[in-house]
Structure 1
């Protein structure tokens, strides 16, 4: 007698994605460089005209963001 196959109840598209992730989402969100890139992408005036984005997080001081983040949201 042939038994029916046991199929999983779910299918995961991103099953192997963790093997290809270089850093965690938490690290990316904490990155000053990534935050600067996001602000530029949103075309925020304080960050729009900066000449370049430094290659390392430690080259960006936290003071760059403190003035913008103190402003009340419009």
Structure 2
């Protein structure tokens, strides 16, 4: 009986370590995903800014042609 109790204790510890390992890997994955998501948002905002800037330049060019 005592032997079974010790083995079940070891099994509990091994299971807890496995669960902690999976949780740790999931946290790392989600942190990387958040960083990637933030980079994509920044890239899209930068592209939108560049597009509006070029539209502004074309608008100025059009005004100068009309004058």
Structure having the higher helix fraction is 2
TM over 0.5: no
| TM-score normalized by the length of structure 1 | 0.27
Q: TM-score, normalised by structure 2?
A: 0.28
**Higher Cα Rg: structure 1 or 2?**
2
